Amino acid sequence: MFVIGLTGGIGTGKTQVSRLLEELGASIVNADLLGHEVYAPQSEGWHAVVNAFGEQIVSDNGEIDRRALGGIVFSDDSALQQLNAIMHPRIYDLAEQRLKGLADQGVATAVLEAALLIEAKWTPLVDDVWVTVSPEEDIIARLQDRNNMDEATARSRIDSQMPQTERVEHADVIVENNASLEDLSDSVKELWNSRVLTR
């Protein structure tokens, strides 16, 4: 099975590229959704996070309140590192299990969609690293439109992530999202034909 690791900064079109790859026949493993599984109430991951950050991050329904947790970790780098040390290995293990399951089913191509693919050191799980990139003004416009962010908030979210220039250093493929959705679709189809179908 050929595994594409798909990553990119906020607002660069990663989710859109993932959808296009799924339409072309790839099976998608989404690291964000795996993160939700790690947080599942009363799971081993849930207990590890609650023990680290306290009962105040648990909402009335027993789930971890991601907003409350975010308020703690995004203002404190050591707290964020502590959370990542709990979460990243567990998400890696789940992703590895899911990918193995897909391979056992005879799936030809899978995509591991992960914003932190590079930072969390999950690249050993994939054969090819695809990075989505966009001009910063396009990203800001998308975040303002899609997430109702003001420009200052959008810029701070972009600045909190690995810079695009650094991310592309790890890329086998750079997917440029700087025009229309139709152009993006054409680019992805071209990459599918040249890098996936030729294997």
Tens-place pLDDT, residues 132-157? 999 999 999 999 988 888 888 888 88
Mean pLDDT along residues 184-189: 96
Task: Report residue 23's pLDDT band, with 50, 70 and 90 as the boundaries.
Answer: very high
**Residue 111 to residue 7: CA distance in whole angstroms:** 10
Q: What are phi and psi of 127, to 5 degrees?
A: -95, -30
**Residue 169 to residue 198: CA distance in whole angstroms:** 24
What is the pTM (predicted TM-score) of this model? 0.92
Task: Report residue 159's pLDDT band, with 50, 70 and 90 as the boundaries.
Answer: confident
Model pLDDT for residues 77-134, shown as the tens digit of each residue: 899 999 999 999 999 999 999 999 999 999 999 999 999 999 999 999 999 999 999 9
- Cα distances (Å, whole numbers) of residue 115 to 51, 104, 133: 26, 26, 12
**Residue 4 to residue 179: CA distance in whole angstroms:** 23
Counting runs of H as helices and runs of E as strands, what totals does the chain give? 9, 5
Radius of gyration of the chain from Cα atoms? 18
